Amino acid sequence: MPAVSTTGFPGASDTGVPAGTALTKVGPGGLTRGPGWVYQPRGWVEVTGSNVTLEGLYIPFNVDITSASNVTVKDDEIYGAGAQWGISLRHDKNVTIEADSIYGPPGCAAQMYEGVSDIYGDSTGTQIIGDDIWNTAGPVSIGNGLIQGNYIHGLTQCGSEHNDGIGVNSGSTSLVIDHNTVLDPLNQTCAICLFSDFGQVQNVTIENNLLAGGDYALYGGLSGNEGASSTPGVRITGNVFSTVYFRGGGTFGPAAHVWAGDVWSGNTWVDGPDAGQAVAR
């Protein structure tokens, strides 16, 4: 697989668990509970309290956060062999996921499906900051909050699943996707996908990201069968698109289904024959 330069953008050296961090194992033979959380013997960590912090842990299970508020998951290594999710959010408020390494095993024998997922699409105030997320079919799936400074790469394809580096499927009311590296080496679906299958996409800012791969590197919210006719409040500015996997950025081009009313400016090619030139919507 071609190497992608992340100079000026998040990469392996400045995301995920900081080098030298000592981690404490969670599960059999290690910690099994803490304030506001407990290890479930069936194979996951359940967080139900508020004002809870999970920090400096090695968690080889799904972390499920349910009906909680003000939860911080920081400096943790979360490994999900065969897990549906690395971190799952259910009806939460103000969850911060910061400087974590979230990944599944390589290949398809025990694929992790999604790295971070807002299961019902109703969590608010979610912040995903400075994480290294790889070896998963869909690294991030949320519709509201902040996604900033993450290194998202190494997507896995094991069947007919969508492969969305950052995916919005249930609509959005306020989402900022800022200064991430999102690399999808596969020929589907996207680095960033805005879809309106279960709600209208609106008030999304996508700025200063490095994007590559997928069918299209970016979907703008009008695609699919949902019939969305507009995506009000969407701003797509200052992003750079790479041709490292496909000559068009994605298999078919850099972007698709971007509403004419969206703000589209300052988006450029970072490499290839048109390096430095503007990317057309």
Contact (CB, 8 A) for 150 and 131: yes
Q: pLDDT (tens digit, 9 = 90+) per residue, 80-110?
A: 998 999 999 999 999 999 999 999 999 899 9
For the four alpha carbons of 97, 101, 106 and 110, in that order, the dihedral sign comes to: negative
**Considering the entire predicted model, what is its pTM?**
0.96
Q: pLDDT (tens digit, 9 = 90+) per residue, 214-259?
A: 999 999 987 554 556 788 899 999 999 999 999 999 999 999 999 9
CATH architecture, domain 24-269: 3 Solenoid (2.160)
Q: Is the pLDDT of residue 270 over 90?
A: yes
Six-digit token string for 140: 């991030």
Q: pLDDT (tens digit, 9 = 90+) per residue, 190-225?
A: 999 998 777 788 899 999 999 999 999 999 987 554
- Residues 6 or more apart whose CB falls under 8 angstroms from that of 124 comprise 92, 93, 94, 144, 145
